[in-house]
Chain A
Amino acid sequence: MKSSQREHRIYDPKMECMNRGELRELQSKHLRETVRLEYDNVPLYRARMDARGIKPQDIKSVEDLRLLPFTEKTDLRDEFPFGLMAAPKSEIIRIQGSSGTTGKPIVAGYTQNDVDIWTDMVARAITAAGGGKDDIIQIAYGYGLFTGGLGAHQGATKVGAMVLPMSSGNTPRQILMMRELGVTMLCCTPSYAAHLGETIQEMGIKPEELKLKSGVFGAEPWSEEMRTHLEEVLGIDACDIYGLTEIAGPGVAFECLEKKGMHVNEDHVIVEIIDPVTEEPLPYGESGELVFTTITKTGMPMLRYRTHDICRLDASPCQCGRTHVRMQRLTGRTDDMLVIRGVNVFPSQIESVLVGIDGVAPHYMLVVDRVKSTDKLEVQVELTDAMFSDTVAEIERLRDDIQQKIKSVVGIGAKIKLVAPKSIPRSEGKAKRIIDNRSI
């Protein structure tokens, strides 16, 4: 809403505005290096390339990308923790992690080079949203293995801003600090931003008492309606940011103040859209699965990582001057992953918890709601005769046990509802495990 009044700031104009021919050359050069690195250091990639009869020297340019094997999230789980690392452990200076598709987490290892690249990517995002050394930036993403907090922190530090590392939660204190320090930029999930906005209103604080001007929101999909809402309640420009631990973390792609899609950092990653069924690359503009190849990382580079996110790429020139293609909003998933309070949740994770508990039926349903801008997950589990006790304490113990196990595997709290046998609808084909009542 405010974008028309402000000029576009660019963190690294040489890279971000490089002409596409030169960019293609640069990508090809880095791709060759990455393929060589993978082949020489990562047994899984060597085996897969050998199986396809491909040698590193066969990959000469970006056009040859389609010859390379894909990488799946399950590969990170199977090779957990260090199997996919191309650098010796002594060169790895950071581990970040994310949930896997089952009980086992996935981790990514970063060399100093990789942390620097990631930091630059977020610095570009913050700059694109109008941030710089004069800003006070509040980070309300969780800090820890989750890349949100540290990623935003590093990027905000890099642009020279005054960084307020609040982490997530404790909303009244977030708002107090925001007001007292005169915070100008906010980094968090869009749903938490909405929650902050609503709480600010409830506390009777007027927007003019705050100095917020923009926000960089990500880690979960959101909509144009949500943008309008956030811009109104917080009086800001709300920009989207995209990323995933497997590739770097937040910052893989980000919006400029034009707010017409997220520029992919193409000097660090090659982005493809593929048909998820035929696995064939699709031209720009077509909707398909987003696939990334990292070309500058050295710790855990990724060849053709399948995100399972569905979107379109837009290669038309952007008013901001950046030449990097833009990802349009995610329109869905090719799998059943849910994003709840910024955390990736797979029904298979919940299932792995439930099958480990005696007497629990494998029938369950995940119900997701958004109450006052906060995601709520309810796990409905069918009670069986074996689980049922005639005392309340026993049933509550069982419920708490399920809740605690889900929390430790998935990383978020869920409400457990024990329901009557056969009350969860059976389906003849693929079981329906999710009821998502959120409108995002």
Chain B
Amino acid sequence: MFITQISVYLENVRGTLRAMTKVLAENDIDIMALSIADTTNFGIVRLIIRGASIDKAVNSLKSAGFIVKKSDVICVGVRNIPGALDEVLEIIEKTDISIEYMYSFNYNLNGDALFVLRLSDNEKTIELFKERNIRMYSQEEINSL
């Protein structure tokens, strides 16, 4: 029940983000979710794109000189009402699992707001969410967006 995230290392130099989006644009890749972690010296851009475009995106970015990594993350659907995200996070908080990072999608699905979660223990979280009937989305479901 993972989806694939692409992360890209960017030096904190003017123009690097655009250089990356240019590669994606030239390869006709739709960005479904994006977050940027920025520090004083570097940034990490994390992207979710459709499954069919993943290899193309990775290869084109690599050949343009970027460092790219694929990783498994969880896509969780949260009802689009106040307090819904808090309920999900409460489940995690009661364990020893910690959230490495999270960000939201630019899309809704079945009325759910979509969030990307990366945790200290992804597998354990999936089991926990299954027990608690928290809706998670697969790569296939995301691809249909």
Contacts and interface: CB of A to CB of B under 8 A. Distances in A.
B69 A423 contact: no
B27 interface: no
Interface string A381-401: 001110011111101100100
A420 B71 CA distance: 19
A390 B41 contact: no
B67 A420 contact: yes
B101 interface: yes
Contacts, number: 50
Residue of A383, A384, A392, A418 contacting most chain B CB atoms (<10 Å): A392
Given A390-B5, A395-B44, A396-B39, A422 B118 contact: no
Contact of B11 (A393, A396, A399, A420): A420
Interface in A383-440: 383-385, 388-393, 395-396, 399, 417-423
Contact of B101 (A391, A420, A421): A391
A388 B69 contact: yes
Contacts of B100: 391, 393
Contacts of A423: 11, 65
Interface in B107-145: 118
Interface magnitude class on chain B: 10 to 19
Nearest to A419: B11
Contacts of B44: 390-392, 395
24 contacts: A383-B9, A384-B67, A385-B68, A388-B67, A389-B69, A390-B5, A390-B7, A390-B44, A390-B69, A391-B44, A391-B100, A391-B118, A392-B37, A395-B9, A395-B44, A396-B39, A399-B41, A417-B11, A418-B9, A418-B11, A418-B41, A420-B9, A420-B11, A423-B65
Interface of B: 5, 7, 9, 11, 37, 39, 41-42, 44, 46, 65-69, 71, 100-101, 118
